[in-house]
C-alpha cells in the first residue's frame, strides 16, 4: 500500500505544479471531483470547491492504495516466478494505452480542462516512482527478471 500512497502523492504533486503554473491552485482535483460527483447528481448540483477537492482526494488515495497493493502482490509473486513481472509489464503497457485513449475520449466531454498528455505524463511519473520504490524493496528481482528475459535458468 505504501507504493500506492507514493504514487497518489506523486500525481497530486504533478497536478499541483501544473495548477500553480496555470494560476488555479487545486484546480485539477476540484475539476475532477466535480466531474466524479456529476455522474451521480443532476446537472448544476455540484458540491463546493472544498467538497469537490475532498471527494476527489479520497477517491484518488483509495484507488492508488488498491493499485499499490496490486503492484506489491505482483512484485512478491515475481520473487517466486520472475516471468510474472514480465506478464505484468505487458498488461501495464496495454492499460496505459487504454487509459490514454479513455482520457482522450473524456477530454471531449466533462474532463475537457485536462489534457491527455498531462494524465499520461502523470501516470508515467507515478509508475516510475512506484516501480523504483518497489524494486528497492526487492533488490534481487531486477537481476532475476533479466535472466528470465534472456531465457537463462534461475
Please name which of 88, 72, 84 lies closest in space to residue 148, comparing C-alpha atoms.
84
Q: What is the mean pLDDT of each run of 10 residues along the chain (154 residues)?
A: 92 94 91 82 78 93 92 88 84 83 66 72 91 89 79 58
- Any idea of the CA torsion for 84, 85, 89, 91, to the nearest 10 degrees? 30
Residue whose C-alpha is closest to residue 98's, from 64, 130, 123: 123
Query: Rounded to an integer, what distance in angstroms lies between the CA atom of residue 92 and that of residue 1?
Result: 18
41 within 8 A of 68, measured Cβ to Cβ: no
Quote the pTM value. 0.80
Amino acid at each position: 500500500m505504501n507504493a500506492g500512497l507514493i504514487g497518489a502523492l506523486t500525481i497530486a504533486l504533478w497536478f499541483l505544479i501544473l495548477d500553480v503554473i496555470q494560476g488555479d491552485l487545486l484546480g485539477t482535483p476540484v475539476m475532477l471531483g466535480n466531474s466524479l460527483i456529476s455522474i451521480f447528481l443532476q446537472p448544476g448540483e455540484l458540491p463546493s470547491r472544498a467538497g469537490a477537492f475532498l471527494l476527489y482526494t479520497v477517491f484518488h488515495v483509495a484507488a492508488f492504495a488498491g493499485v499499490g497493493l496490486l503492484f506489491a502482490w505482483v512484485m512478491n509473486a515475481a520473487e517466486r516466478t520472475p516471468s510474472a513481472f514480465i506478464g505484468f509489464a505487458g498488461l501495464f503497457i496495454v492499460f496505459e494505452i487504454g487509459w490514454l485513449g479513455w482520457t482522450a475520449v473524456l477530454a471531449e466531454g466533462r474532463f475537457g480542462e485536462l489534457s491527455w498528455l498531462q494524465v499520461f505524463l502523470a501516470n508515467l511519473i507515478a509508475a516510475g516512482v512506484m516501480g523504483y520504490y518497489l524494486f528497492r524493496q526487492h533488490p534481487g528481482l531486477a537481476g532475476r527478471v533479466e535472466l528470465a528475459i534472456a531465457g537463462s535458468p534461475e
